[in-house]
Structure 1
Amino acid sequence: MHLDLVSFSLPTFPLLASTSETVDSSLVLAGVLLSLLVSYLASKLGGELANRLGLPTVLGELIGGVIIGVSVLHLLVFPGEGIDASSSAIMRFLELTDGLSPAAANSVFEAQSEVISILAELGVIILLFEIGLESNLKDLMAVGIQAVVVACVGVVVPFVAGTAGLMIIFGLPAIPSIFAGAALTATSIGITSKVLSEMGKLNSKEGQIILGAAVIDDILGIIVLAVVASLAKDGAVDVGNVVYLIVSATGFLLGAIALGNLFNKAFVGVVNKLKTRGELIIPAFIFAFAMAYLADAIQLEAILGSFAAGLVLEETEKRKELQKLILPIADMLVPVFFVVVGSKTDLSVLNPAVPSNREGLIMATFLVTVAIIGKVVTGLSVFGIPQINRLAIGVGMIPRGEVGLVFLGIGSSIGILSKPLEAAIIVMVIVTTFLAPPLLKFVFPEQNTTQLKSVDSE
């Protein structure tokens, strides 16, 4: 499972080609620039409004994405079922101003969408690298057992309840019910970690358990998805692939932790010898991208690799300097990720006036209930830590975000989900994604929101 917000392979269009190809590189560039323009405007306006209302900035960025996306203005849309160049206001604008021909519009639209999707992917990779730098490996390991328990409960409870409910209450076949149940296991580490960071709660006990559990939950989600997808395709589980995923995931995380103890001094030693511009940030990104690629190459999440890289470099004496250097880069790319997630949110599935939506909305009510309760109960599984905010831990595990969309996309591509069930999963993803940030703000006491700043100043 990868965080592909739109299914794509690496771009084949030559952005710098000198010859005339099917895709006009200048028009692709124009489309990308306009897409970034509206994305930044939406994220900034939405973020500022959310901040003034006392809500997490990320919620405003998501809502800004919804407004410019497929639900409202159609400025930032992506190829999909029923969506082509004619659905994009930006493509229509290019036809009016830059001479884009209707015949070439789809090619330009697809190329532009791939570039924005890749920038969004880079945004979440850098976000998790930044979160890793802000986290403390020793603190994370100290709550490791609790995080594992929380993650396992957060996978098993919603999966079992969702699958059984769809089969018993709605009479759905086993395979689509299992797939929908698997979609309920996801947790969006990008959304939760961003909110915790904004609130200054990332290094609290609750924040460390949520973060550790979200990482483990992501790995478990990969394994669950591999099992369910192979079951849907072939009617049998590829045991070898499941064992491979378990071994590779465990080996990767343990290897990253071990690497941290060996790599820190070598990294600082190399950096201290460099004299040209970017002597710290470029080697850091080389390491982060190498780790992200390695995770991706062994069928894990690229964001797990960048998060592990951040944890490793957090142990170095260059941590604070590196945090300052990465901020402007994160400010450029991370909002693109959240705006893209919002822009892909199709609120039309929430319209009960459309007869085909009604069955999906009934299923969605069930899935949303299971999705929220199935994660909130995870806080009850925390043990051995007195005066811990168990409700905050459960709420922090609620958002499905882009990870839920990946489950949906794979289920749709296999062809095992009915239209009502697809709509139900979309509604579940929408509600949990947008509900979690304000709930996190509510469940954490206001007087402790400066904890991260006090930790960083020590």
Structure 2
Amino acid sequence: MTLAFLVHDPLAGTLMLLALLWLSAKVGGELAVRLKLPAVTGELAVGLALTALHRAWPLVPEVAASPAAELLGGLGVVVLMFAVGLESTVPQMMKVGAASLRVASIGVVAPMAAGLAGAWLLLPEGAPFVLDLFIGACLCATSIGISAQVLREKGAADSVEGRIIVGAAVVDDVLGLLVLVAVSGLVGASATGGLGGPGGSLGSELARTLLLALGFLAAALTLGRVATPRLFRLASRFRGEQVLLPLGLGFAFLLAWLGSLAGLASIVGAYAAGLILEPAHIVDLEHREKHSLEELVHPLVTVLSPLFFVLMGAKVDPTALFRPRTLGFAAVLALLGVAGKYVAGYTGGRGTRAAVVGWGMVPRGEVGLIFVATGAQLQWHGTPLLSPDIQAGIIGALLLTTVAGPVGLGWVLSRQAPKALTTSHRREREG
């Protein structure tokens, strides 16, 4: 009777998959740490290995196609960015706002120009120019989730460079989205025979996206700071136990959803939620529950964020990646992408470590994969814009930068102690 129930239990397969993901993530992370690499590097490698094992032995679950893994991985990166936001305040972020804007601007322009030149040189003659543009657009993306995890592991999330990286990634998300909209619109306009009519719709789409993105961020960081203290002061009157964590997560998920409605990645909204929730706003609840919100969120980050990184690694096709020609194409694009982001680190300003900022902007991760997924749906005169080999090459380049980013960032952070933004950070957070 019991065995029959287990066989027909619809939850059994998901439970086995999650057990595999969590155990393999910890093993991969441990191996990476023993090799003096960030744990996230091992989690990415484990995801790639699981996909290869599934190809060789179908009894191993297909992680990349699992809705449960997709859901929990997405929750993991949202919770991670909420936790990163909790470690800073809006006034502290304003101190590095100009530097973040400079880093983000160069971090979009330089990699895109490098990718555009590399694609023009590497692609066969006759390839459409819009394909070069799209490859350049893929290289301008930044994944803050990976760098944020490394910064947390190294205790540098509270450093000047850590705040510049996170702030630049938020701006980078807006700029990268606009680039993707522009290139996608250009592909559609060119493929239909001209830029006259579609060009006008492209301009209006760009304006709409920019207004929505800027409007959301402005509202979150102004109205949110005004409304949040009143809402959580009201919540402190609740008589039930364990109120702080559910309300905090609900607030983070709400802003993440609103951010997605505004055309931004949901992780930007989650980060904004953490930034808004300053300790002074929730001090009554923290005092009553004898734990800070950061302490309550930390176990969730530990549990869920590894699933996101394993899932990212699992989405890479190992057979397409390791073809010699594709691997060479991926390596050149990755090198150009790393160089473009690294250059941006030198615009952080005096007193910052350019290498830390530069390496922190290198990983593409889930943002780059979103770009590729968009490109896979684009048609050029009735055929897909991205051929299988080119698509695999771009994904390979994204994977290489995703691995190179945390490795380089972990290395430079290990060489020097992070520079604190202020010696009275805790007092600023509490006051």
Coarse TM-score class (shorter-chain normalised): 0.7 to 0.9
Instruction: Give the partner amino acid of 1:53.
Output: L
AA in 1 matched with 2:71: I
Q: Which residue of 2 aligns with 1:128?
A: 81
C-alpha deviation, 1:419, in angstroms: 2.5
**RMSD of aligned alpha carbons:** 2.6
Partner residue of 1:413? 377
Shift of 1:239: 1.3
| CA shift digits 1:58-82 (9 cap, x unpaired) | 12222222222x123559xxxxxxx
Contact 2:120 2:132 in 1 (8 A): yes
SS in 1 for 2:242: coil
| 2:320 is the alignment partner of 1:370 | no
- State whether structure 2 residue 397 is matched by structure 1 residue 428: yes
Aligned partners of 1:398 and 1:432 also within 8 Å: yes
- Counterpart of 1:309 in structure 2 is 273
Higher mean C-alpha deviation, range 250-259 or range 56-65: 56-65
Query: What is the DSSP-based 3-state SS (H/G/I as helix, E as strand, rest coil) of the residue aligned with 2:49?
Result: helix
Structure 2: distance between partners of 1:256 and 1:161: 34
Contact (CA 8 Å) 2:78, 2:267: kept in 1 or not? yes
Contact 1:368 1:432 in 2 (8 A): yes
Query: 1:144/1:453 Cα in 2 relative to 1: closer, same or farther (>3 Å)?
Result: closer
* Match of residue 48 from structure 2: 66
1: CA distance between counterparts of 2:104 and 2:420?
24
Q: Closer, same or farther in 2 for the Cα pair 1:196/1:34, shift >3 Å?
A: same
Structure 2 residue aligned with 1:348, among 311, 319, 328? 319
Give the C-alpha shift of residue 369 in structure 1. 1.6
1:183 aligns with 2:163: no
Equivalent position to 1:360, from 309, 313, 326: 326
Q: Which residue of 1 aligns with 2:409?
A: 440
Give the direction of change, closer, same or farther, for the CA distance of 1:61–1:445 in structure 2 (3 Å limit).
closer
1:167 to 117, 120, 140: 120
The structure-2 alpha-carbon separation of the partners of 1:337 and 1:305, relative to structure 1 and needing over 3 Å to count, comes to same
Partners of 2:21 and 2:275 in 1: how far apart? Answer: 30
2:281 pairs with 1:300? no
Q: After superposition, where does 1:184-223 map in structure 2 within 5 Å?
A: 184-223=139-178
Whether the aligned pair in 1 keeps the contact of 2:89 and 2:275 (CA below 8 Å) is yes
Work out the CA distance in 2 between the residues paired with 1:257 and 1:377.
29
Shift of the 63–365 alpha-carbon distance from structure 1 to 2, 3 Å rule, reads closer
Alpha-carbon offset, residue 298 of structure 1 = 2.2
- Corresponding residue of 1:286: 250
CA 1:126 to 1:51, structure 2 compared with 1: closer, same or farther past 3 Å? same
Shift in Å at residue 363 of structure 1? 2.3
Q: Deviations over 1:132-187 (max 9, x none)?
A: 11123222111111111111111111112211332245333211111111000011
Aligned equivalents of 2:419, 2:107: Cα separation in 1 = 28
Q: For each residue in 1:44-71, what CA deviation from the matched residue of structure 2 results, as whole angstroms up to 9, or x when unmatched?
A: 1122222333322212222222222x12
Verify the 8 A CA contact 1:259 1:312 in the aligned structure 2. no
Select which of 110, 113, 119 maps to 1:157. Answer: 110
Question: Which one is further off, 123-132 or 260-269?
Answer: 260-269
Q: Which amino acid aligns with 1:437?
A: P
Unmatched 5+ residue regions in structure 2? 1-5, 191-197, 379-383
Moved over 6 A (4+): 452-456
CA apart distance, 1:43? 1.1
Which one of the candidate residues 230, 242, 246 is aligned to 2:185?
Answer: 230
Which secondary structure state, in structure 1, belongs to the residue aligned with residue 320 of structure 2? helix
Aligned counterparts of 2:156 and 2:99: Cα–Cα separation in 1: 17
Give the corresponding residue for 1:78. Answer: none
Deviation at 1:28, TM superposition (A): 4.2
Instruction: Name the CA distance, whole Å, in 1 between partners of 2:27 and 2:105.
Output: 38
Mapped to 1, the partners of 2:169 and 2:110 lie a distance apart of 15
In the TM superposition, what is the alpha-carbon distance from 1:30 to its structure 2 partner? 1.8
How far did 1:306 drift? 0.9
Preserved CA contact (<8 Å) 2:258 2:269: yes
Offset of 1:276 from its aligned partner? Answer: 1.1
Identity of aligned residues (%): 36
Q: 2:256·2:267 contact (CA, 8 Å) conserved in 1?
A: yes
CA deviation digits over 1:365-415, x for unaligned, max 9?
3211210100000012223x33x2011111111011111111111111222
| Mapped pair 1:250 → 2:232 | no
Aligned partner of 2:293 among 318, 322, 329: 322
With normalisation by structure 2, the TM-score equals: 0.86
Of residues 24, 36, 39, the one that matches 1:42 is 24
The superposition leaves residues 238-290 of structure 1 with CA deviations (integer Å, 9 ceiling, x where unpaired) of 21111011111111111111024312421331231112133111111221111
User: Among residues 15, 34, 41, which one is paired with 1:52 in the alignment?
Assistant: 34
Q: Bigger relative contact order, structure 1 or 2, given CA contacts below 8 A and separation 6+?
A: 2
Return the alpha-carbon distance in structure 2 between the equivalents of residues 27 and 345 of structure 1.
30
Question: Is 1:32 matched with 2:14?
Answer: yes
Counterpart of 2:99 (choices 114, 124, 146) is 146
* Equivalent pair of 1:395/1:439 in contact (CA under 8 Å): yes
1:124 Cα offset (Å): 0.9
Closer, same or farther: CA 27–341 of 1 in aligned 2, 3 Å: farther
**Distance in 1 separating the partners of 2:228 and 2:365:** 33
Alpha-carbon distance in structure 1 between the residues aligned to 2:241 and 2:395:
46
**56-65 or 36-45, which deviates more:** 56-65
